[in-house]
């Protein structure tokens, strides 16, 4: 089958088309003929050599796909055969065929196109777990999200607004701020022109936000904590701005703040299946009904994966970048 590989770590240009064997089908796996594969920041980090695949995972990039199930393992319900699904994968999405545990698949009805479906799993699983499970988000609260026009950012805006949560985001220019407002952000702050800490305090009358979803870390963390209301929750999902932060712990104690975070890929198959089950009940119907739709940026053919990575790393995208793997 055709796939995208890389012989050495490096920039986007190391990604090259290649021919490889089809993946082996485990007892609990489905084999998906991939129509589209989502492109995510962890793909770029893995390509650069800083995010190795977990033991046993495919060395091929790609953490989410949509397509048709063409084979099922011995422990998989036989009715999954021939179903159209979106899947969170352990890797291997940048290829014509990909395996995924059947419990990590969500059904794609006729009203949801496969391109949009492929843009959903990674950000949906990440945001649901970190905002609603770890962050304990409740209606009527306030959420601050950095990177408001990223795939994670746009998903966080849409989901939070669907559950009556006020959303504040930061973006790098006015065009992105306007795009975030169109998605539903209540306040979009251009962090190059304004201090987001002061902007949050002004917008909330000094009360602050209940949750921060942070992809930056580094010196953003102490500033994020200044934005939190009492009993606020700080949830870290990436460290793009640095892996270390210096904190004033008495403020954490006095304001009863919670600092948490997670990485999704290394979690067990059982955890991801339970997460998929919760999403299928609480969030997936918002997309299958058409109430919500992912914000789409650009679609690249599979053999142009290098260009897709270059666009993501340039920070120009708004929403999701996907690869078209097959004619649909």
Q: Mark whether 288 and 224 lie in a shared domain.
A: no
- Cα–Cα distance, 13 to 305 (Å, whole number): 9
Q: Per the structure, how many domains does the chain have?
A: 2
> Tell me: the pLDDT tens digits for 137-185?
999 999 999 999 999 999 999 999 999 999 999 999 999 999 999 999 9
Task: Provide the percentage of residues in the chain whose pLDDT is more than 70.
Answer: 100
Q: Mark whether 129 and 255 lie in a shared domain.
A: yes
What pLDDT is stored for residue 182 in this prediction?
Answer: 97
Q: Mark whether 248 and 129 lie in a shared domain.
A: yes
Q: Mark whether 170 and 270 lie in a shared domain.
A: no
Residue 247 reports pLDDT greater than 80: yes
Q: Of 261, 289, 313, which one is at a domain's C-terminal end?
A: 261
Q: Mark whether 95 and 161 lie in a shared domain.
A: no
Q: Mark whether 236 and 156 lie in a shared domain.
A: yes
Q: Mark whether 142 and 245 lie in a shared domain.
A: yes
Counting DSSP H helices and E strands in the chain, the numbers are 11, 15
Q: Cα dihedral sign for 193, 167, 267, 253?
A: positive
At 266, list the tokens: 């290394």
CATH of the domain at 147: 3.40.50.720
DSSP element (H, E) containing 269: helix 269-282
Per DSSP, the three-state class of 276 is helix
Q: Mark whether 197 and 72 lie in a shared domain.
A: no
**Mean pLDDT over residues 222-239, rounded?**
97
What pLDDT is stored for residue 148 in this prediction?
Answer: 96
Q: Of 207, 227, 261, which one is at a domain's C-terminal end?
A: 261
Question: What range defines the domain where residue 230 resides?
Answer: 124-261
Torsion of CA 37, 264, 169, 156, to 10 degrees: 70
Q: What is the mean pLDDT of the chain?
A: 97
Cβ 63 vs Cβ 93: under 8 Å? yes
Q: Mark whether 144 and 235 lie in a shared domain.
A: yes
pLDDT classification of 56: cutoffs 50, 70, 90: confident
């Amino acid at each position: 089958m055709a796939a995208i590989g890389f012989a050495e770590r490096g920039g986007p240009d190391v990604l090259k088309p290649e021919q490889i064997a089809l993946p082996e089908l485990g007892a609990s796996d489905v084999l998906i003929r991939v129509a589209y594969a989502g492109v995510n920041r962890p793909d770029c980090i893995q390509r650069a050599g800083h995010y190795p695949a977990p033991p046993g995972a495919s060395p091929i990039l790609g953490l989410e796909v949509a397509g048709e199930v063409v084979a099922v393992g011995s422990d998989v319900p036989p009715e999954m055969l021939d179903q159209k699904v979106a899947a969170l994968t352990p890797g291997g999405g940048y290829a014509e065929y990909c395996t995924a545990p059947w419990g990590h698949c969500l059904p794609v009805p006729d009203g949801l196109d496969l391109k949009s479906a492929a843009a959903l799993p990674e950000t949906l699983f990440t945001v649901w777990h970190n905002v609603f499970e770890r962050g304990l988000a409740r209606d009527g609260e306030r959420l601050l999200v950095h990177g408001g026009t990223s795939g994670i950012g746009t998903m966080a805006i849409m989901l939070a607004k669907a559950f009556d949560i006020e959303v504040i985001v930061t973006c790098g220019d006015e065009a992105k701020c306007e795009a975030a407002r169109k998605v539903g952000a209540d306040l979009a702050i251009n962090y190059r022109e304004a201090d987001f800490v002061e902007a949050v305090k002004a917008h909330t009358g000094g009360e602050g936000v209940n949750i921060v979803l942070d992809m930056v870390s580094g010196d953003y963390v102490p500033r994020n904590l200044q934005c939190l209301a009492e009993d606020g929750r700080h949830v870290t999902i990436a460290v793009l701005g640095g892996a270390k932060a210096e904190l004033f712990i008495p403020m954490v104690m006095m304001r009863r703040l919670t600092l948490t975070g997670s990485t999704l890929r290394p979690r067990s198959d059982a955890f991801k299946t339970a997460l998929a089950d919760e999403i299928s009940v609480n969030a997936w119907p918002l997309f299958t009904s058409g109430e919500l739709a992912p914000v789409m940026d650009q679609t690249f053919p599979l053999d142009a994966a290098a260009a897709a990575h270059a666009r993501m790393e340039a920070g120009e995208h708004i929403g999701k970048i996907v690869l078209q793997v097959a004619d649909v």
